[in-house]
Structure 1
Amino acid sequence: MSAMDEDRARRAMVSLRGLALGDGFGQRCLEAPGEVGPGGQWRLPEGRWRFTDDTEMACSVYAVLRGRGHVDQDALAAGFAARFDPGRGYGPATAGVLASVRAGGDWRELAGGLFGGAGSFGNGAAMRVAPLGAWFSDDVEEAARQAALSAAVTHTHPEGVAGAVAVAVGAAVAARREALGAPAFLDEVLAHVPAGEVSEGVRAARALLVVSDPVAVGRELGCGQRISAQDTVPFTLWCAAKHLDGFPAAVWETARAGGDADTTCAIVGGVVATRVPGGRLPQEWVSHGEPLPQWVV
């Protein structure tokens, strides 16, 4: 691996760890919502925070990048299928695709045939892609292109792809670690996201930066209740923009809105982790998180 790819791998691993912590934290908050308190009364959920399909799939994205330096769609599909664990909470459409790929099916036909040939616009491609954005933070256009390739393995609908592009670009911009205001952060995301509902949602999120209450913003934009890219990605990018340099606050505020909290917190965690000095995520959080699989570390 070249020195450049070693640097990329380090950035992506920090993002992956942040994604996994957000994922497990959000899932634990769904299981024990009473433990999520307001800003001045935060108390971390007790016990081990078990990660979900968000992290399992993100690990495969990272592994392909580390092994090949780019998205090889066949390798990514094979990795997703080989590591598919139904106990991690996969959505039924993706679970069906991966089970069929594992049995020898062609991922192109399976993903493209979902929902009458329209493809999936679920939030699954967006939830796993932040480490890819961190990997390509030195080339945001390439981050967008590679994100689209990674999405199409399971999500071929334009909005599903756009959701992945938006999150990857957000992670790439964040990982540059430049001083950046929230409006400028979302403006750069918008410059790379194809026109459509996800793009319009991110534009609405930018207008809502004047609002401080994530619950209110979640009601306006959606916070994953429909499990779609359209009602997940704009809210997560609002949360990341509002707390770009504060990992705990970003993930807590994301969880406060409810909805698909494991996925929204995974996305936000994967984006803002790249800004943590030295990649040192809060030890109190790390002590609760489920370790990443041995095959990826």
Structure 2
Amino acid sequence: MTHGSATLKALRDLSAGAHWALCGASGEFAAGSGAAMRVAPLAFMLDPEVENDRRVVRDVARITHRNEEAYAGAVAVIVAIRARARSSVRDLLDEAAAITPDSAVRDRLLELQTLRKSPATIATEFGNSGRVVDTVPLALYVARSNMSLSLETLLAEAAGLGGDTDTIAAIAGQISGAGVDCADLPWPRIQQIAEIAHVERGVNAFTRLLS
């Protein structure tokens, strides 16, 4: 089950009157990346090292994915974004693994942390499927390996890895974007987004909420 179908199931169940905590997909096929791909804004509001904040992250993941791996992936992404936003980041995979709960996602982060191979080689050797254990560690690896590249170049490389390209590129881009100056964003391409005005309204509302 992909993150798209898990979200569709949750929306259908909610519409039918089910409790939000019971709407998410469960079991092995719920170990998808939908929660990890959508939690980026929470990185600016929640600290995964605080118990109550972790509970919020778990609930956000649970809405669509009642699976501990999906939750672990969401935590890893939030930690990586917070780390990338700081000027003194040590190692994205190391920092994420230090806070991510015990899981296959954490094990993969630790395994990749010691490697210095190309992202393409990592994708081939470890997988680039839509399973969270593949997408999140790979996305963090891409972000760590390309910290000196422009965001546009990084996204192109992430998308070129194959597999679940939209998820891998989205997560890698969110992490890397946290450390990019606004002036260095690829504005010509951003302005080509069909509903960019709607996106900008959402961003402006969110930044007002933070201020």
Q: State the TM-score, normalizing by the size of structure 2.
A: 0.82
Q: Does the C-alpha gap of structure 1 residues 151 and 162 become closer, same or farther in structure 2, counting only changes over 3 Å?
A: same
The CA deviation string for residues 214-253 of structure 1, in whole angstroms up to 9 with x for no partner, is 2211112222x2x211111110010111123531232122
Matches within 5 A, 1:124-163: 124-136=34-46, 139-142=47-50, 144-163=54-73
The CA deviation string for residues 177-205 of structure 1, in whole angstroms up to 9 with x for no partner, is x1335xx2221111101112100111122
Q: Structure 1 residue 293: deviation in Å?
A: 3.0
CA contact (8 A) 1:221 1:234 kept: no
Q: Does the C-alpha gap of structure 1 residues 276 and 257 become closer, same or farther in structure 2, counting only changes over 3 Å?
A: same
Question: 2-side partners of 1:257 and 1:144: how far apart?
Answer: 31
The match for 1:198 among 81, 102, 105 is: 105
1:106 aligned partner: 19
Provide the alpha-carbon RMSD of the alignment.
2.4
Q: Does the C-alpha gap of structure 1 residues 236 and 259 become closer, same or farther in structure 2, counting only changes over 3 Å?
A: same
Question: 2-side partners of 1:155 and 1:149: how far apart?
Answer: 9
Q: Is the aligned partner of 1:219 residue 2:124?
A: yes
1:257 aligned partner: 161
Question: 2-side partners of 1:205 and 1:97: how far apart?
Answer: 33
Matches within 5 A, 1:227-246: 227-246=130-149
CA contact (8 A) 1:147 1:168 kept: no
The CA deviation string for residues 66-125 of structure 1, in whole angstroms up to 9 with x for no partner, is xxxxxxxxxxxxxxxxxxxxxxx96323311211202322122222x634xx68211111
- In structure 2, list runs of 5 or more residues that go unmatched: 204-211
2:209 aligned partner: none
What secondary structure is seen at the aligned counterpart in 2 of 1:141?
Answer: coil
Q: Specify the code of the residue in structure 1 equivalent to 2:5.
A: P
Q: Specify the code of the residue in structure 1 equivalent to 2:49.
A: E
The match for 1:179 among 73, 88, 95 is: 88
Q: Is the aligned partner of 1:293 residue 2:203?
A: no
CA contact (8 A) 1:108 1:153 kept: yes
Question: 2-side partners of 1:248 and 1:270: how far apart?
Answer: 12
- In structure 1, list runs of 5 or more residues that go unmatched: 1-88
The match for 1:170 among 80, 95, 115 is: 80
What secondary structure is seen at the aligned counterpart in 2 of 1:259?
Answer: coil
Question: 2-side partners of 1:160 and 1:292: how far apart?
Answer: 31
Q: Structure 1 residue 292: deviation in Å?
A: 5.9
Q: Does the C-alpha gap of structure 1 residues 292 and 146 become closer, same or farther in structure 2, counting only changes over 3 Å?
A: farther
Question: 2-side partners of 1:106 and 1:287: how far apart?
Answer: 39
Q: Does the C-alpha gap of structure 1 residues 206 and 279 become closer, same or farther in structure 2, counting only changes over 3 Å?
A: farther
The CA deviation string for residues 111-160 of structure 1, in whole angstroms up to 9 with x for no partner, is 2x634xx6821111111112211344xx4524655422321222121111
Question: 2-side partners of 1:253 and 1:193: how far apart?
Answer: 26
Q: Is the aligned partner of 1:272 residue 2:176?
A: yes
What secondary structure is seen at the aligned counterpart in 2 of 1:180?
Answer: coil
The higher-RCO structure (CA 8 Å, 6+ apart) is 1
CA contact (8 A) 2:93 2:113 kept: yes
Could you tell me the percent identity over the aligned residues?
32
Q: Does the C-alpha gap of structure 1 residues 103 and 233 become closer, same or farther in structure 2, counting only changes over 3 Å?
A: same
CA contact (8 A) 2:83 2:89 kept: no
Matches within 5 A, 1:6-155: 91-111=4-24, 114-115=26-27, 120-136=30-46, 139-142=47-50, 144-155=54-65
